[in-house]
Copies of this chain bind each other. A is one copy, B any other.
């Protein structure tokens, strides 16, 4: 199977997801037309956007272990996007976030359906319940996509432990993150631990391992190289997220300016800032941080403190160091040269992005 770099792989992943969705949504609609909105909403959420980061890492993980790409393998690696759809849908309910990618979150879409169909009971309860079920369905679809991929069954069996590990770590990481927010923790160490679980392991290391385990054979050296690449890169990726959440351009991110500041999100960037502020800066920061009604000048005040304390510069330095570390891990060998080139490209994309 030929493909043209990351862009070509992304196209193949998108096509595979569209194909899977076509079949599964048809089945849903046959159960009853009541399920049409479930299929429609999930379809848009899955297919309209998304960077396909985890399927890409899984596919490259497969190539790096010497696997020969096929449509069946793309089906198997694409399944990770459905796990992520579950995580995002449930995340929005958990955070009570009303928008995602410039569109209403799933629970808000079903709240609107409740209104337009004049259904009984609470519209927000209906919205939340629907979003829980759609997330659950995405998680089940993910497994189904993998099982039915047509990849050799022995390889699927070998991939399952990595797959399970990844999903347990995802749920554990989500709980840690939520608990961290509720603690209103100021610990840099603790926020780094969350970043490690949520991004290092779930988004990069495990998808690479999962991909490798789908290959006809893979060495312990490849698995280790993927960890050495994936964990620091995941950290850099998450720190870039922190920076974008504060300094990102709304036109690019699809979210309001300074969104994380309004939400009072306890990120590594915020923890680093709070570890460096003087008393006056601390008072000013904490008075504004987490207020839903922040105006642009207040956001600018918070941003200035983050810059003046040197927290932003410190994060940029760590991002650079971690990316460098990830690059070096690729040199230690075991990974096929074509996959090394793709992983270099992914590292740049993950850490130099603006959205």
Alpha-carbon gap, A90 to B137, bound state (A) = 12
Contact B147 A153 (CB under 8 A): no
Q: Mark A47-73, 1 if CB is under 8 A from B, else 0.
A: 000000000000000000000000000
| A138 nearest CB across to chain B (Å) | 9
Which residue of A34, A156, A176 has the most chain B CB atoms within 10 A of its CB atom?
A34
Contact B182 A114 (CB under 8 A): yes
Alpha-carbon gap, A121 to B169, bound state (A) = 25
The segment from A24-32, A307-315, A328-336 found at the interface with B is A24-32
Instruction: Chain B residues near A31: list those with CB within 8 A.
Output: 169, 172, 176, 197
Within 8 Å by CB of A120, from B96, B130, B148, B183, lies B183
Alpha-carbon gap, A250 to B141, bound state (A) = 39
Contact A133 B28 (CB under 8 A): no
Contact B120 A175 (CB under 8 A): no
Instruction: Chain B residues near A349: list those with CB within 8 A.
Output: none
Within 8 Å by CB of A140, from B125, B132, B168, lies B168
Contact B133 A181 (CB under 8 A): no
Instruction: Chain B residues near A184: list those with CB within 8 A.
Output: 119-120
| A178 nearest CB across to chain B (Å) | 5
Instruction: Chain B residues near A164: list those with CB within 8 A.
Output: 140, 143-144, 147-148
- Judged by DSSP, the binding face of A is helix
Within 8 Å by CB of A175, from B35, B139, B161, lies B35
Alpha-carbon gap, A121 to B94, bound state (A) = 12
Q: How many copies of this chain does the complex contain?
A: 2
Contact B34 A133 (CB under 8 A): no
Within 8 Å by CB of A168, from B121, B135, B141, B171, lies B141
Contact B137 A171 (CB under 8 A): yes
| A89 nearest CB across to chain B (Å) | 10
Q: Mark A143-171, 1 if CB is under 8 A from B, else 0.
A: 11001100001001100110010011101
Chain A interface residue number, banded: 35 or more
Within 8 Å by CB of A176, from B24, B32, B129, lies B32
Contact A130 B183 (CB under 8 A): no
| A214 nearest CB across to chain B (Å) | 15
Nearest neighbor of A153 in chain B, beta-carbon distance:
B157
Say yes or no: is A208 at the interface (Cβ < 8 Å to chain B).
no
User: Known contacts A161-B147, A168-B144: does B94 contact A175 (CB below 8 Å)?
Assistant: no
| A106 nearest CB across to chain B (Å) | 13
Instruction: Chain B residues near A141: list those with CB within 8 A.
Output: 168
Alpha-carbon gap, A32 to B132, bound state (A) = 26
Besides A27-B168, A128-B128, A144-B164, 15 new A-B residue pairs in contact (Cβ under 8 A), listed by A number? A34-B175, A38-B172, A38-B175, A94-B132, A94-B133, A114-B182, A121-B181, A130-B175, A135-B136, A140-B167, A140-B171, A143-B143, A147-B161, A148-B161, A153-B157
User: Can you name 14 A-B residue pairings with CB atoms under 8 Å?
Assistant: A31-B197, A32-B193, A35-B175, A90-B136, A94-B133, A114-B182, A119-B182, A121-B181, A128-B128, A130-B175, A130-B178, A132-B132, A133-B171, A157-B157
